[in-house]
Amino acid sequence: MESYELLLKNAYEKVKVVDKGSERFEIPKVTGQVSGNNTFITNITQIASYSRRPVEHIVKFLQKELAVSGRLEGSRLVLNTVLNSERVNEKIQLYAKYFIVCNVCGKPDTELLSEKGIKYKHCLACGAKSPIKYHL
Residues 44 and 82 in one domain: yes
Query: How many Å apart are CA 69 and CA 81, to the nearest integer?
Result: 8
Q: What is the pTM of this model?
A: 0.77
pLDDT tens digits for the chain (136 residues)? Answer: 578 888 888 888 877 665 554 456 788 899 989 989 999 999 999 999 998 999 999 999 999 999 999 999 988 999 999 988 899 999 999 999 999 999 888 888 899 999 888 899 999 888 889 999 887 7
Instruction: Indicate whether 84 belongs to any domain.
Output: yes
Instruction: Indicate whether 113 belongs to any domain.
Output: yes
Hey, how many other C-beta atoms are within 10 angstroms of the C-beta on 20?
6
**How many domains is the chain built from?**
2
Instruction: Indicate whether 1 belongs to any domain.
Output: no
Return the CATH number at 47.
3.30.70.3150
| Domain of 115, in residue numbers | 102-136
